[in-house]
Homo-oligomer: A and B are copies of this chain.
Amino acid sequence: MKRTSHIPELRAMVAQEKGRERVIALVPTMGYLHRGHLTLIEQAKKSGAFVVVSIFVNPLQFGPNEDYSRYPRDLERDARLLEEEGVDVLFHPTTEEMYPRPMVTYVEVGQLDSMLCGAARPGHFRGVATVVSKLFHIVQPDLAFFGQKDYQQYLIIRRMASDLNLPIEICAVPIVREEDGLALSSRNVFLTPEQRREAVILSQSLNEAERSIQAGERSAREIETRIRERITRESHGVIDYVEVRDAEGLSEVSDIEGPVLIALAVRFGSTRLIDNKVVEAEARV
Protein backbone atom coordinates (compact mmCIF):
# COMPACT_ATOMS: atom_id res chain seq x y z
CA MET A 1 0.00 0.00 0.00
CA LYS A 2 1.23 3.46 -0.92
CA ARG A 3 0.70 6.38 1.41
CA THR A 4 0.69 10.08 0.67
CA SER A 5 -0.52 13.29 2.19
CA HIS A 6 0.17 15.34 -0.95
CA ILE A 7 -2.46 16.05 -3.58
CA PRO A 8 -0.11 16.13 -6.61
CA GLU A 9 1.47 12.80 -5.60
CA LEU A 10 -1.95 11.21 -5.11
CA ARG A 11 -3.07 12.52 -8.49
CA ALA A 12 0.02 11.07 -10.17
CA MET A 13 -0.66 7.65 -8.64
CA VAL A 14 -4.27 7.71 -9.81
CA ALA A 15 -3.34 8.99 -13.29
CA GLN A 16 -0.94 6.10 -13.73
CA GLU A 17 -3.68 3.56 -12.93
CA LYS A 18 -6.18 5.37 -15.16
CA GLY A 19 -3.61 5.07 -17.94
CA ARG A 20 -3.82 1.29 -17.39
CA GLU A 21 -7.61 1.46 -17.81
CA ARG A 22 -8.19 0.65 -14.16
CA VAL A 23 -11.42 1.63 -12.47
CA ILE A 24 -10.73 3.94 -9.51
CA ALA A 25 -12.71 3.62 -6.26
CA LEU A 26 -12.68 6.12 -3.41
CA VAL A 27 -13.66 5.34 0.18
CA PRO A 28 -13.67 8.69 2.02
CA THR A 29 -13.35 8.34 5.81
CA MET A 30 -12.44 10.32 8.90
CA GLY A 31 -10.29 7.44 10.12
CA TYR A 32 -10.35 5.56 13.42
CA LEU A 33 -11.52 2.70 11.29
CA HIS A 34 -13.94 0.02 12.40
CA ARG A 35 -15.55 -2.97 10.69
CA GLY A 36 -18.09 -0.63 9.07
CA HIS A 37 -15.31 1.12 7.16
CA LEU A 38 -13.68 -2.19 6.33
CA THR A 39 -16.95 -3.37 4.80
CA LEU A 40 -16.94 -0.32 2.55
CA ILE A 41 -13.41 -1.18 1.53
CA GLU A 42 -14.29 -4.83 0.89
CA GLN A 43 -17.12 -3.70 -1.40
CA ALA A 44 -14.70 -1.39 -3.20
CA LYS A 45 -12.18 -4.22 -3.59
CA LYS A 46 -14.89 -6.56 -4.90
CA SER A 47 -15.51 -4.13 -7.76
CA GLY A 48 -11.97 -4.90 -8.95
CA ALA A 49 -11.06 -1.24 -8.69
CA PHE A 50 -7.84 0.48 -7.66
CA VAL A 51 -8.91 1.46 -4.13
CA VAL A 52 -8.03 4.82 -2.61
CA VAL A 53 -9.01 5.35 1.04
CA SER A 54 -8.87 8.90 2.34
CA ILE A 55 -8.54 9.71 6.03
CA PHE A 56 -9.27 13.32 6.82
CA VAL A 57 -11.04 14.73 9.86
CA ASN A 58 -12.67 17.65 8.11
CA PRO A 59 -12.94 20.76 10.31
CA LEU A 60 -15.50 22.29 7.94
CA GLN A 61 -18.20 19.81 8.97
CA PHE A 62 -17.84 20.31 12.73
CA GLY A 63 -19.69 23.08 14.54
CA PRO A 64 -17.87 25.34 17.01
CA ASN A 65 -19.13 23.33 20.00
CA GLU A 66 -18.71 19.91 18.42
CA ASP A 67 -16.07 17.25 18.89
CA TYR A 68 -13.56 18.15 16.15
CA SER A 69 -10.58 18.35 18.48
CA ARG A 70 -11.44 15.21 20.42
CA TYR A 71 -12.59 13.17 17.41
CA PRO A 72 -10.57 9.94 17.77
CA ARG A 73 -7.49 9.57 15.55
CA ASP A 74 -4.95 6.75 15.15
CA LEU A 75 -3.33 6.93 11.74
CA GLU A 76 -0.79 4.14 12.25
CA ARG A 77 -3.40 1.64 13.43
CA ASP A 78 -5.63 2.68 10.51
CA ALA A 79 -2.74 2.24 8.07
CA ARG A 80 -2.12 -1.33 9.32
CA LEU A 81 -5.80 -2.22 8.89
CA LEU A 82 -5.86 -0.77 5.37
CA GLU A 83 -2.69 -2.61 4.45
CA GLU A 84 -4.31 -5.89 5.56
CA GLU A 85 -7.40 -5.10 3.49
CA GLY A 86 -5.28 -4.75 0.36
CA VAL A 87 -5.99 -1.07 -0.14
CA ASP A 88 -3.89 0.46 -2.92
CA VAL A 89 -3.41 4.01 -1.62
CA LEU A 90 -3.99 5.72 1.71
CA PHE A 91 -4.45 9.46 1.20
CA HIS A 92 -4.14 11.31 4.50
CA PRO A 93 -3.82 15.03 3.78
CA THR A 94 -3.16 17.64 6.42
CA THR A 95 -5.65 20.43 7.05
CA GLU A 96 -3.19 22.80 5.33
CA GLU A 97 -3.08 20.56 2.25
CA MET A 98 -6.89 20.55 2.01
CA TYR A 99 -7.42 24.18 3.02
CA PRO A 100 -4.29 26.15 2.09
CA ARG A 101 -6.24 29.41 2.41
CA PRO A 102 -9.63 30.42 3.80
CA MET A 103 -12.43 28.79 1.82
CA VAL A 104 -15.00 31.01 0.17
CA THR A 105 -16.55 28.31 -2.05
CA TYR A 106 -19.16 25.94 -0.68
CA VAL A 107 -21.40 23.26 -2.14
CA GLU A 108 -24.89 23.44 -0.69
CA VAL A 109 -27.46 20.69 -1.15
CA GLY A 110 -30.68 22.50 -0.26
CA GLN A 111 -33.80 20.83 1.15
CA LEU A 112 -31.91 17.72 2.26
CA ASP A 113 -29.38 19.55 4.43
CA SER A 114 -31.43 21.42 7.02
CA MET A 115 -33.52 18.59 8.52
CA LEU A 116 -32.66 15.65 10.82
CA CYS A 117 -28.91 15.85 11.56
CA GLY A 118 -28.75 19.15 9.65
CA ALA A 119 -31.16 20.81 12.09
CA ALA A 120 -28.96 20.00 15.08
CA ARG A 121 -25.73 20.63 13.20
CA PRO A 122 -26.11 23.78 11.05
CA GLY A 123 -23.46 23.89 8.35
CA HIS A 124 -22.55 20.22 8.87
CA PHE A 125 -23.76 18.93 5.50
CA ARG A 126 -22.44 21.99 3.70
CA GLY A 127 -19.04 21.03 5.13
CA VAL A 128 -19.55 17.40 4.10
CA ALA A 129 -20.70 18.21 0.54
CA THR A 130 -17.83 20.66 0.10
CA VAL A 131 -15.07 18.34 1.30
CA VAL A 132 -16.47 15.37 -0.63
CA SER A 133 -16.60 17.56 -3.72
CA LYS A 134 -12.92 18.43 -3.14
CA LEU A 135 -11.99 14.78 -2.63
CA PHE A 136 -13.88 13.82 -5.78
CA HIS A 137 -11.92 16.41 -7.79
CA ILE A 138 -8.63 15.33 -6.23
CA VAL A 139 -9.05 11.58 -6.68
CA GLN A 140 -11.39 11.60 -9.72
CA PRO A 141 -12.78 8.17 -8.90
CA ASP A 142 -15.27 6.19 -10.98
CA LEU A 143 -16.92 4.77 -7.84
CA ALA A 144 -17.30 6.18 -4.33
CA PHE A 145 -18.52 4.21 -1.32
CA PHE A 146 -20.60 5.57 1.55
CA GLY A 147 -22.10 3.80 4.57
CA GLN A 148 -25.84 3.84 5.13
CA LYS A 149 -25.37 4.63 8.81
CA ASP A 150 -24.97 8.20 7.61
CA TYR A 151 -28.05 7.78 5.46
CA GLN A 152 -28.78 11.49 5.09
CA GLN A 153 -25.15 12.09 4.10
CA TYR A 154 -25.42 9.32 1.49
CA LEU A 155 -28.59 10.87 0.01
CA ILE A 156 -26.98 14.33 -0.04
CA ILE A 157 -23.87 13.07 -1.82
CA ARG A 158 -25.98 11.11 -4.28
CA ARG A 159 -28.08 14.18 -5.02
CA MET A 160 -25.01 16.40 -5.31
CA ALA A 161 -23.47 13.96 -7.79
CA SER A 162 -26.66 13.90 -9.83
CA ASP A 163 -27.33 17.67 -9.76
CA LEU A 164 -23.72 18.58 -10.61
CA ASN A 165 -23.21 15.80 -13.22
CA LEU A 166 -20.30 14.28 -11.32
CA PRO A 167 -19.06 11.34 -13.39
CA ILE A 168 -19.02 9.12 -10.31
CA GLU A 169 -21.22 6.22 -9.23
CA ILE A 170 -22.25 6.65 -5.58
CA CYS A 171 -22.44 3.23 -3.89
CA ALA A 172 -24.23 2.66 -0.58
CA VAL A 173 -23.15 -0.05 1.86
CA PRO A 174 -25.47 -1.35 4.64
CA ILE A 175 -24.89 -0.57 8.32
CA VAL A 176 -22.55 -2.93 10.17
CA ARG A 177 -23.56 -3.70 13.77
CA GLU A 178 -22.08 -5.15 16.94
CA GLU A 179 -23.48 -8.52 17.98
CA ASP A 180 -26.01 -6.83 20.25
CA GLY A 181 -27.15 -4.54 17.44
CA LEU A 182 -25.29 -1.28 18.15
CA ALA A 183 -24.34 0.38 14.87
CA LEU A 184 -20.57 0.67 14.52
CA SER A 185 -19.27 4.21 14.91
CA SER A 186 -15.89 5.75 15.64
CA ARG A 187 -17.64 7.68 18.40
CA ASN A 188 -18.68 4.49 20.27
CA VAL A 189 -15.25 4.59 21.91
CA PHE A 190 -16.43 7.57 23.97
CA LEU A 191 -19.27 5.61 25.65
CA THR A 192 -18.92 4.60 29.30
CA PRO A 193 -19.65 0.92 29.97
CA GLU A 194 -23.13 1.85 31.21
CA GLN A 195 -23.84 4.07 28.19
CA ARG A 196 -22.57 1.28 25.94
CA ARG A 197 -25.08 -1.16 27.50
CA GLU A 198 -27.91 1.35 27.22
CA ALA A 199 -27.10 2.37 23.63
CA VAL A 200 -28.42 -0.96 22.36
CA ILE A 201 -31.88 0.57 22.81
CA LEU A 202 -31.40 2.44 19.52
CA SER A 203 -31.26 -0.61 17.30
CA GLN A 204 -33.79 -2.46 19.44
CA SER A 205 -36.37 0.31 19.10
CA LEU A 206 -35.73 0.48 15.33
CA ASN A 207 -36.28 -3.29 15.08
CA GLU A 208 -39.47 -3.01 17.10
CA ALA A 209 -40.67 -0.21 14.80
CA GLU A 210 -39.99 -2.39 11.78
CA ARG A 211 -42.02 -5.22 13.31
CA SER A 212 -44.89 -2.83 14.06
CA ILE A 213 -44.95 -1.65 10.44
CA GLN A 214 -44.80 -5.23 9.19
CA ALA A 215 -47.73 -6.01 11.52
CA GLY A 216 -49.75 -3.27 9.87
CA GLU A 217 -49.03 -0.03 11.75
CA ARG A 218 -49.17 2.81 9.22
CA SER A 219 -49.00 5.94 11.40
CA ALA A 220 -45.61 7.62 11.22
CA ARG A 221 -46.37 9.70 14.34
CA GLU A 222 -47.35 6.57 16.28
CA ILE A 223 -44.08 4.85 15.34
CA GLU A 224 -42.05 7.92 16.34
CA THR A 225 -43.88 8.21 19.65
CA ARG A 226 -43.30 4.54 20.53
CA ILE A 227 -39.56 4.83 19.80
CA ARG A 228 -39.24 8.04 21.82
CA GLU A 229 -41.12 6.54 24.77
CA ARG A 230 -39.06 3.39 24.81
CA ILE A 231 -35.71 5.22 24.60
CA THR A 232 -36.75 7.63 27.34
CA ARG A 233 -38.10 4.82 29.53
CA GLU A 234 -35.24 2.39 29.17
CA SER A 235 -32.15 4.59 28.99
CA HIS A 236 -30.58 7.88 30.01
CA GLY A 237 -30.28 8.86 26.34
CA VAL A 238 -31.42 12.37 25.43
CA ILE A 239 -33.30 12.35 22.16
CA ASP A 240 -32.24 14.79 19.47
CA TYR A 241 -34.73 13.50 16.89
CA VAL A 242 -36.75 10.43 15.98
CA GLU A 243 -38.27 10.73 12.52
CA VAL A 244 -40.08 8.61 9.97
CA ARG A 245 -39.41 10.06 6.52
CA ASP A 246 -39.73 9.22 2.87
CA ALA A 247 -36.61 7.13 2.16
CA GLU A 248 -35.80 8.81 -1.16
CA GLY A 249 -36.31 12.53 -0.58
CA LEU A 250 -36.57 12.65 3.23
CA SER A 251 -39.88 14.50 2.97
CA GLU A 252 -42.30 14.17 5.89
CA VAL A 253 -44.85 11.37 5.78
CA SER A 254 -47.91 10.79 7.93
CA ASP A 255 -49.15 7.50 6.47
CA ILE A 256 -46.43 4.95 5.96
CA GLU A 257 -46.39 3.53 2.44
CA GLY A 258 -43.52 2.47 0.22
CA PRO A 259 -39.99 2.65 1.62
CA VAL A 260 -39.57 4.85 4.68
CA LEU A 261 -36.49 5.81 6.63
CA ILE A 262 -36.73 5.59 10.40
CA ALA A 263 -33.88 7.74 11.66
CA LEU A 264 -32.82 8.81 15.12
CA ALA A 265 -30.12 10.71 16.96
CA VAL A 266 -29.66 10.30 20.71
CA ARG A 267 -27.07 11.76 23.06
CA PHE A 268 -25.50 9.61 25.75
CA GLY A 269 -23.63 12.11 27.88
CA SER A 270 -21.66 14.20 25.39
CA THR A 271 -21.64 11.43 22.76
CA ARG A 272 -24.19 11.78 20.01
CA LEU A 273 -25.14 8.50 18.31
CA ILE A 274 -27.20 8.07 15.15
CA ASP A 275 -28.90 5.01 13.72
CA ASN A 276 -31.54 4.26 11.10
CA LYS A 277 -33.44 1.60 9.27
CA VAL A 278 -35.15 1.64 5.88
CA VAL A 279 -38.44 -0.24 6.06
CA GLU A 280 -40.54 -1.19 3.07
CA ALA A 281 -44.22 -1.09 4.00
CA GLU A 282 -46.23 -3.62 2.02
CA ALA A 283 -49.41 -2.28 0.49
CA ARG A 284 -52.39 -2.76 2.78
CA VAL A 285 -54.79 -5.44 1.53
A interface list, Cβ under 8 A from B: 7, 11, 103-112, 129-130, 133-134, 137-138, 140, 159-160, 163-167
B109, A159: Cβ atoms under 8 Å? no
B104, A106: Cβ atoms under 8 Å? no
| Closest chain B CB from A151 CB (angstroms) | 17
B109, A167: Cβ atoms under 8 Å? no
Between A and B, 13 residue pairs with Cβ closer than 8 Å are A11-B167, A104-B112, A104-B159, A105-B107, A105-B164, A106-B107, A106-B110, A108-B108, A134-B163, A134-B164, A137-B165, A137-B166, A138-B167
Which 4 A-B pairs give the minimum distances between C-beta atoms? Answer: A105-B163, A137-B165, A104-B110, A104-B111
B106, A108: Cβ atoms under 8 Å? yes
| Closest chain B CB from A278 CB (angstroms) | 21
A134, B165: Cβ atoms under 8 Å? yes
Q: Most chain-B CB neighbours within 10 Å: which of A7, A105, A107, A130?
A: A105
Chain B residues with CB below 8 A from A130, complex form? 164
Chain B residues with CB below 8 A from A104, complex form? 109-112, 159, 163
| Closest chain B CB from A186 CB (angstroms) | 25
Chain B residues with CB below 8 A from A110, complex form? 104-106
Which of B7, B111, B167 lies in contact with A165, CB distance below 8 A?
Answer: B7
| Closest chain B CB from A98 CB (angstroms) | 8
* Nearest residue, chain B, Cβ from A135: B165
| Closest chain B CB from A158 CB (angstroms) | 11
Chain B residues with CB below 8 A from A106, complex form? 107-108, 110
* Nearest residue, chain B, Cβ from A99: B163
